[in-house]
Amino acid sequence: MKKVTILQDTKRLKASVSLAKRGVPKLPQLLTDFLKFKKTNPKQSYNKHDDSLRGGELKSLGLRHFDIGREYRLYYRVVEDTDSIKVILYGVFTHEETGTGRPPNQNRQKSFADTVRNAENRLTPVSTDSKLDPVIECYFNWIRKECQLWK
């Protein structure tokens, strides 16, 4: 069985989650459940709202997105090599921010694609053990507290 590693673009993920938390109070729990699922089922869709991008430059990068509420999506990709599978989290964004809305915005798609390519130098592992590592646990606790303010 291949080893599954979950990586994150820490800076972009943290910033995008803090913006999205206002509209999605259950975001910390959704992300935690998503990560636990992907740790054991990295190539399967989390649910019917988890699929590959269908066109443009972002599709060529192998990006996927998981719908979070009506407005936000978690953008990520799954990379498989001979002995491991990596699930790479880029952030929580709207279709407008990534240029994938209607109508599509090619300039935003190109900008977001550049952001994804540049993230390769900033990726850090995410713990998905039953007990999250202290940094991630602290971060999720902070999000939970912040979400309470926006209810």
Contact 67, 46 (CB under 8 A): no
Q: What is the dihedral of CA 82, 63, 93, 131, to 10 degrees?
A: -20
Cβ(136)–Cβ(125) under 8 Å?
no
- 3-class secondary structure, 48: coil
- Asked if residue 125 lies in contact with residue 131, where contact means CB atoms within 8 angstroms, the answer is no
Over its length of 151 residues, how does the chain's per-residue pLDDT go in tens digits? 789 988 888 878 877 877 767 677 788 788 888 988 998 999 999 999 999 988 788 889 999 999 887 888 999 999 999 999 999 999 889 989 999 888 989 999 999 999 999 998 888 887 655 444 444 555 555 555 544 443 3
pTM: 0.80
